[in-house]
Amino acid sequence: MGRQPAFERSDVLDKASKIFLRNGFQRTTIKDITKATGLQPGSIYSAFENKSGLYTEVIEHYTKRQIGVIDECAKQHSKSLDALRSFFNLVADKSKNKTPDAHCLLVYGAFEIPETEKELRYYVQLKLQEIESRVYVLLVKAQENEEIVCDEDPIQLARFLMTLLFGYRVLARLQSSSETIDNMLDRVFQIIENKK
């Protein structure tokens, strides 16, 4: 039986995610990671193989957390569209308040991971699709329950909303006003609900 690691994996992933958000994948060094996590290089290599392995687990950890938020919103609301609006409000609040989650690892990864890291780029794409699929399911339910009047393809609507999520991150990065983000959110849901 192998030796159990002497650290809390989720704690290491949280700390590593902050470093990857601050520096980006390419500029983050093992030295940065050891400083942030308190682990020795040997422990990092033993637990995650290399920086790409750690980044992959960070992305998985981040995606599960985002999906957990969507699922929790769905539990708290009887209407699927209300659940979606609640999720987007939470994202908007984080964006406005400049919390660490305001800057999305998946969005940054999509832009920043080099072409040479094909597997990593593909993995980020898969994780974005996982979140999009949760949004899609809620949109289908909203259409079935006639919460959405428009008959737009839910796949296209889900992609539209994912683009909105990306836009939030960009606006937060550019330090846009809270009012700008709120107005954008209200208008998007008016369009989805087919309200003038």
Tens-digit pLDDT profile for residues 40-86: 999 999 999 999 999 999 999 999 999 999 999 999 999 999 999 99
* 5: pLDDT strictly greater than 60: no
Closest CA to 47 of 9, 75, 80, 101: 9
What mean pLDDT comes out for the span 114-130?
A: 91
> Cα(101)–Cα(187) distance, rounded to whole angstroms?
23
Helices 80-97 and 154-173 meet at what angle, rounded to 10?
A: 20
The single-letter DSSP state of residue 72 is: H
* Residue 24: per-residue pLDDT: 87
| Token output for 62 | 């981040």
**The pTM is what?**
0.84
Confidence grade of residue 89 (pLDDT, cut at 50, 70, 90): confident
> What is the distance between the terminal CA atoms of the chain, rounded to a whole angstrom?
64
* 102: pLDDT strictly greater than 50: no
* 159: pLDDT strictly greater than 80: yes
* Residue 97: per-residue pLDDT: 62
* Residue 105: per-residue pLDDT: 81
Closest CA to 66 of 93, 106, 95, 96: 106
User: How many Å is the maximal CA-CA distance in the chain?
Assistant: 64
Calculate what percentage of the chain has a pLDDT beyond 90: 50
> Is CATH 1.10.357.10 correct for 58-192?
yes
Query: Domain limits of the chain?
Result: 58-192
Q: Give the SS3 label for residue 5.
A: coil
Closest CA to 13 of 64, 82, 71: 64
Confidence grade of residue 91 (pLDDT, cut at 50, 70, 90): confident
